């Protein structure tokens, strides 16, 4: 009886890959959020920041940019995980390649690039 329960639990808790369309929609939404927040930050003038009442929108834009940008980097790095595993011969090499991919994706999202 315990063997059947363990097998059922293993089967029920097996990782499931999300559909590709879902990942594409999520990535598109994160890109749009990041771009919108960056545009909002670009439109603000420093002189308007003297009044603390004007801080809400830029602060929200910063939070959105950081959150959506981080999620986008994580999504893109995660999508190439299997390829990195296949190319890596050790855990150390895998960690190094993962860090390189994170840095590369972060550079791509920066507004000045």
Q: pLDDT of 12-22, one tens digit each?
A: 888 777 787 88
Q: Is residue 4 part of a domain?
A: no
Q: What is the pLDDT of residues 14-51, one digit of tens each?
A: 877 778 788 889 989 999 998 888 888 888 777 777 77
Q: Is residue 12 part of a domain?
A: no
Q: Which domain holds residue 67?
A: 20-109
Residue 11 to residues 1, 3, 4, 18, 78, Cα–Cα distance (Å): 16, 12, 11, 17, 23
Exposed, middle or buried, 70 (CB in 10 Å: 0-12/13-18/19+)? middle
What DSSP line would sit under 62-94, residue for residue? HHHHHHHHHHHHHHHHHHTHHHHHHH-SSHHHH
Count, residues in the chain: 113
Q: From CA 109, how far away is CA 24, in angstroms rounded?
A: 17
Q: Is residue 1 part of a domain?
A: no
Q: pTM higher than 0.85 for the full model? A: no
Domain count, the chain: 1
Q: Is residue 38 part of a domain?
A: yes
Q: Is residue 89 part of a domain?
A: yes
Q: Is the pLDDT of residue 113 over 60?
A: no
């Amino acid at each position: 009886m315990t063997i059947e329960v363990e097998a059922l639990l293993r089967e029920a808790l097996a990782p499931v890959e999300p559909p590709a369309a879902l990942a594409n929609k999520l990535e598109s939404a994160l890109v749009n959020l990041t771009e919108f927040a960056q545009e909002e930050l670009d439109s603000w003038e420093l002189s308007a920041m003297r009044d603390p009442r004007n801080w809400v929108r830029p602060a929200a834009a910063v939070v959105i940019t950081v959150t959506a940008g981080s999620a986008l980097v994580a999504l893109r790095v995660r999508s190439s995980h299997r390829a990195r595993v296949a190319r890596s011969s050790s855990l150390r090499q895998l960690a190094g390649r993962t860090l390189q991919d994170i840095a590369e994706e972060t550079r791509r999202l920066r507004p000045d690039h």
